[in-house]
Structures are given as structure tokens and as C-alpha cells.
Structure 1
Amino acid sequence: MTPRQITVLGECVADAFTEPAQAVNELALRVLPGGGPANTAVALARLGTPACLLARLSGDVFGRLFRGHLEASGVDLTYAVEADEPSTLAVAELDARGQAAYSFHAQNTADWQWTAGELARVDLSGTACLHTGSLALVRRPGAAAVEDFLAAAAPGATISIDPNVRPLLVRPEVYRDRLAHWCELADILRLSEDDLELLLPDASPEKACDIWHAAGARLVVITRGAAGVLASLDGERFRVPAVPADVVDTVGAGDSFTAGLLHHLGAAGLLGGRLSRLRLDDVADACRFASRVAALTCSVSGPNPPWLRQVQHGLSCANR
């Protein structure tokens, strides 16, 4: 079955990675197109799901980089806004485990300036699932317009949210204050173990799932790095082990996991409503597939998710 369209709303961020310079007292930067929602849209399109990105793209050098990258991956930019503001820049420094520490340059940039009028022109009639998260949900002035857009879309589409907490830019308590409302809107809540620690520092993963189910989210998926994945559907739990990978870095791995999860559920015809036909076995299969997509992303530098043929090749090799 060909998956129906998934629409992703959120930011594009220029990820600038530090590299050794040729001269003393110089710093070299290698800039790659990133941003959690943009990464998810790219991964969805490369997996074969029709993906539309609602983004505000600057006309600056980074905005042109984003547009070329998204279009080359097959992402639909029909409703992307041509923004006057500059692009958001994140400078990333990798540690020995390939984990990135970021410093952000995001004041008054294009990504956060959504207006109700810009979103009102978006046609979601062909969209099975609307996915968003990260900074677009919490950065002013656009965050309120994004929340209202989700509420209006919820009756006709499955809603997926990834909080992707960025404490350097927005205090975790801002996310905590909004999370119960997001769960009222969301059918799927996907977050990392780091997000969990920032949002509910004293709760076990299982307790957190129960809290978020009670607030309204039917499916909660917590990715835990080498510890694998915990999925909870209305309180029924399932754990999926991590897929072994030769880790270059982990940039974009969570976004690729989300794309793999949504792609697999969409290909099975399970998106487009309140997940009424979803069963725990379906979730387990989708999480296994998503874990393979994330592992392949970790095996290359930067937020560079695999194409479907690469995932299928990996599956065939694993089955030999």
C-alpha cells in the first residue's frame, strides 16, 4: 500500500559542525541542513512516504541550502513560506560518543514567526498525519498559531508530536507547562530518554507513559539509545532492542526514528484517525523498522537519513 501524505510542521536549522582548521587561531565549520522537523520530512520522503513540509524558509544562503536539500529528497514545499527573516544557525560540537552539544543563534529568525494567516492557506485534506514538535511549538510569537493549527487539524488527521526539548533556547518548564495540552491534541507522542529526564525528572519511563496516556496520548514511544525503545499503547507495553550500529554521530537519529515509525504505520494504512485499528504488534513492527532507520542514520555523518533501498538492503543482509 502506498502511504498517504504526512505533513510536517517546523523548523529548518543550519547545523554547523566544528572541524580542525588549517591555521592557528582559526575555526572551520562544516554546515549541513538540519532541524528536527526538516530531518523528519526528509527521512519520510526518502522512505517513500509523500511528505509535505510547512516551513518558513529564508532567502539567505542557509535558506537556499535548505530548499535544495529538501527538494532533492522529494519533500513537497508547496506551502513553504518565503520568509524575510534570517535562518536559524546551530553550532554543534561532537563528543567522543558522537553526541552533539549545540549553541544556537536563533533570535528573531524565520522559523518562529508563523501567523494564523500563513497556516490558514494550508490544505490538509490529503494528509493522513500531521507531525510537529521541537522549537516551533514553544518559540514565540509563532507557537500559539502552531497550537491552534494542530487543534483545527486534529478532527481529520492523526496528530504526532515530538517535544525535542532544547533547554539552551527554551526553559524545560515551558515544555512541561504545555505538554498536557499537547497530549490532548496528540495521538502519538515520541520522545527521547533525554527529553524524559528534562520533562519528568523523577518519573520512570513506565510512569511517564501512564501520565501522558491519562492526558490523552494513545501511543507513547520513548527512544533510549543503546537501551532500545519502550512503546506504550493505551498502557500496553513493548520493548524493542536497539539495532547495532557503527556510530559516526547521533545527529538526526531521533528524527529518523520518528519518520520510520510514521512511515511504517502509514504504509499499513493505520494513520488518518485516532489509531482505532492500531494493535501492539503493529507498534512493535513499526518500532523495529524505525530502529533500523535510526541506526543507519547514526552510521553516517550529520542528519543524513537513509533512502528506502538502503533500509531494504540492510534488512536483506540481516536476514542472510
Structure 2
Amino acid sequence: MILCAGESLIDMVPQDGAFRPLAGGAVYNTAIALGRLGRATGYLWPISRDPFGDQILAPLAEAGVNTDLCPRTDRLTTLALVTLTNGEARYSFYDEGSAGRMLVPGDIGPLPQTVTALFAGGISLVPDPCGATLEGLIAAHHARLPVMIDPNIRPFFVTDPEAYRARLGRLLPLADIVKLSSDDLEWLHPDLAPEEAARHILATGPKLVLHTGGESGARAIWAGETVAVPAVRTTVADTIGAGDTFNAGVLASLDRQGLLSKDGIAAITPDQIRAALTLGAEAASVTVSRPGANPPWAHEMPASD
């Protein structure tokens, strides 16, 4: 089971002069995409007992995602108020004291042996106590479990950039796979070109650094020659959840190929990397073709996959 640990929240999206609540969150989206792609998936994040908590749980159940590790709490669900300025989305977070933000180590029970890989990232790595709790979870299990991290950096959410750079400086070397966008790489290493920044991160410990560039496709920087795949052309409704779905496609492909282990990732070949990037790109293309974070189900993917 691939365990996805990180934020879920409610996006309050403008619609007809009001706001429509939609379940979201980067790690939550990846968990749902993995479940829809038919992989054994678990989710770990505190879920409120408020009505929004039920709204968050329903799509997880529909996708077959295991939520046994999710603590329930009377704290409120995080809200992200979305405003559109010239078509560009901006977010205001109502997060202080929320269900997820207050995650502490005591909320996390022993991980069952059925957990075979760990995925983490998103804004849940930024504030404390939840950020420190997830850092501790990764530090405790990275020696046994393959770890993928996508920090999905949102500068407007980071109140102490140096502290967060320091946290990522501790976390990324513990990961086997790191996924970063061009914006992430620029924020982490503004003085380096994207591939130089990716290779700098690779040198700290990960086996694969995946660099996504939207329409320019995805690249894997690793010990061998860079592997690149193009983006899949489609009519774009919006890009919400595209990167999260890409992550799920990569993990699903590695799982199908029998590579989602420490030894499997260490011995990966260019063709195996290309297959993983391709499934990630194909899955993301379905998500961007329809509004919101609505990842594909397995039957919607090309038959060759």
C-alpha cells in the first residue's frame, strides 16, 4: 500500500457571485488519483468531524483509499478561499488551529506492514506542528520504505523562507524520488539554472529528481543520461491537480513494474523511468482536460497502460 501523508482541505471556489466548496489539497489529490488508477493506497491526515470532513472522506472511499490511519478530530477543516484576479487564482488560507495543522506525533499509530511506500509533500510540510510531525514520520521510515516528496512550494504560504529551506534541506536527502516544478527549483536555488539545481539536489541523496515543466513535459535527472518525455497534448480546461496526478501516475507505474522498493529504484533503467514519466504525463493530461482536480480512473487511461 502506498501511503500518502499530507494535506486535505476545502477550496472555496468562486461561482456565480458565491463560493462553491470543493475538496482538495495536493497530497489528497495524489491519494485519490492513485486509488482511481487501481493501486493499493492509504491516506494519513487528520479529518475533522465537521461536515467538510465528510465531504473530504467521500471521494477517498469512492476511490478505494484506505483511511484507517486518519485520526478524527473536532478541530475545523482548513479552508482555502480562492479569488481570481485577471484569471489568476490567489489563495487565502484559514488554517490556524485547524484539524490538519495540529497533527502531532501522538496522532500517528504504528505503520502497518502493508505500507510499502510513502508519499508526502505540499503545504503540510510548511507550518508546525504538522510539518515537524511529517518530517519525523519520513525520518523514522525512510530507511525501510521508498519515499517520494513533492514540496509543491507555495511562496505565499511560507512565512519563514529560511526555516522552510532548512527543513527541505533535511527532508529531500531522505527521499528516493523528488518531484519539483521549475518554480520550485527557482525558489530553492535562485542562482542556478533548473537542471543545475536539480543535479545539486540529486547529489544530496535522492535517486531520481523529476523536473516538470507543464507544456514542456517532464525530465528525470538521475545517475544516467537525463530521460525526458513530452507533455500529452490536450484541450486544457484548467491545470488544477495536474502535478498531483502526475505524481500518482509515476508511483502507479513504478508499482506496476515492481520497482516501488529501495532496491527497485536503485536499479532502475532508462526505459523504466520513461514508462513512469509517460504514465504520469498521460494521467495529468486527463486531469487538465476537465475542470478541477478530477483525476482519471484506470478505465480512462490508454489501453497500452
Which of 197, 213, 221 is matched with 1:232 structurally? 221
Q: Which residue of 2 aligns with 1:149?
A: 137
Residues 1:251 and 2:247 aligned together? no
Measure the CA separation in 1 of the matches of 2:137 and 2:168. Answer: 16
Counterpart residue identity of residue 214, structure 1: A
Counterpart residue identity of residue 71, structure 1: A
Task: Say if 1:210 and 1:235, in contact at 8 Å, map to a contact too.
Answer: no
Task: Say if 1:100 and 1:250, in contact at 8 Å, map to a contact too.
Answer: no
Residues 1:223 and 2:190 aligned together? no
How far apart are 1:303 and its partner, in Å?
0.9
Residues 1:125 and 2:113 aligned together? yes
Q: 1:294 to 1:94 in 2, by over 3 A?
A: farther
Counterpart residue identity of residue 49, structure 2: G
Post-superposition CA distance 1:185-223 (Å, at most 9, x none) = 100001222222222222212101211111111100011
Measure the CA separation in 2 of the matches of 1:165 and 1:269. Answer: 30
Q: Which residue of 1 aligns with 2:275?
A: 285
How far apart are 1:67 and its partner, in Å?
0.9
Shift >4 Å, 4+ stretches: 94-97
How far apart are 1:92 and its partner, in Å?
2.4
Task: Say if 2:185 and 2:198, in contact at 8 Å, map to a contact too.
Answer: no
Task: Say if 2:5 and 2:119, in contact at 8 Å, map to a contact too.
Answer: yes
Counterpart residue identity of residue 144, structure 1: A
Worse-superposed segment, 137-146 or 33-42: 137-146
Q: Which residue of 1 aligns with 2:151?
A: 163
Structure 1, unaligned runs of 5 or more = 22-27
Measure the CA separation in 2 of the matches of 1:176 and 1:273. Answer: 26
Task: Say if 1:175 and 1:199, in contact at 8 Å, map to a contact too.
Answer: no
Query: 1:1-320 maps to which residues of 2 (within 5 A)?
Result: 5-21=1-17, 28-94=18-84, 100-119=89-108, 121-171=109-159, 172-234=161-223, 236-274=225-263, 275-312=265-302
Counterpart residue identity of residue 189, structure 1: V
Normalization by structure 1: what TM-score?
0.90
Counterpart residue identity of residue 220, structure 1: V
Q: 1:198 to 1:81 in 2, by over 3 A?
A: same
Measure the CA separation in 2 of the matches of 1:93 and 1:241. Answer: 31
Post-superposition CA distance 1:251-278 (Å, at most 9, x none) = 1110000000000001101012152221
How far apart are 1:94 and its partner, in Å?
5.0
Measure the CA separation in 1 of the matches of 2:79 and 2:13. Answer: 11
Normalization by structure 2: what TM-score?
0.94
Measure the CA separation in 2 of the matches of 1:191 and 1:227. Answer: 14
Q: 1:95 to 1:47 in 2, by over 3 A?
A: farther
Structure 2, unaligned runs of 5 or more = none
Task: Say if 1:103 and 1:168, in contact at 8 Å, map to a contact too.
Answer: no
SS of equivalent to 2:301: helix
SS of equivalent to 1:312: coil
Measure the CA separation in 2 of the matches of 1:205 and 1:281. Answer: 23
Measure the CA separation in 2 of the matches of 1:217 and 1:60. Answer: 39
How far apart are 1:180 and its partner, in Å?
2.1
Measure the CA separation in 1 of the matches of 2:112 and 2:143. Answer: 11
Measure the CA separation in 2 of the matches of 1:258 and 1:91. Answer: 25
Q: Identity, % of aligned pairs?
A: 37
Measure the CA separation in 1 of the matches of 2:41 and 2:146. Answer: 14
Task: Say if 1:100 and 1:251, in contact at 8 Å, map to a contact too.
Answer: no
Measure the CA separation in 1 of the matches of 2:279 and 2:91. Answer: 28
How far apart are 1:294 and its partner, in Å?
0.5
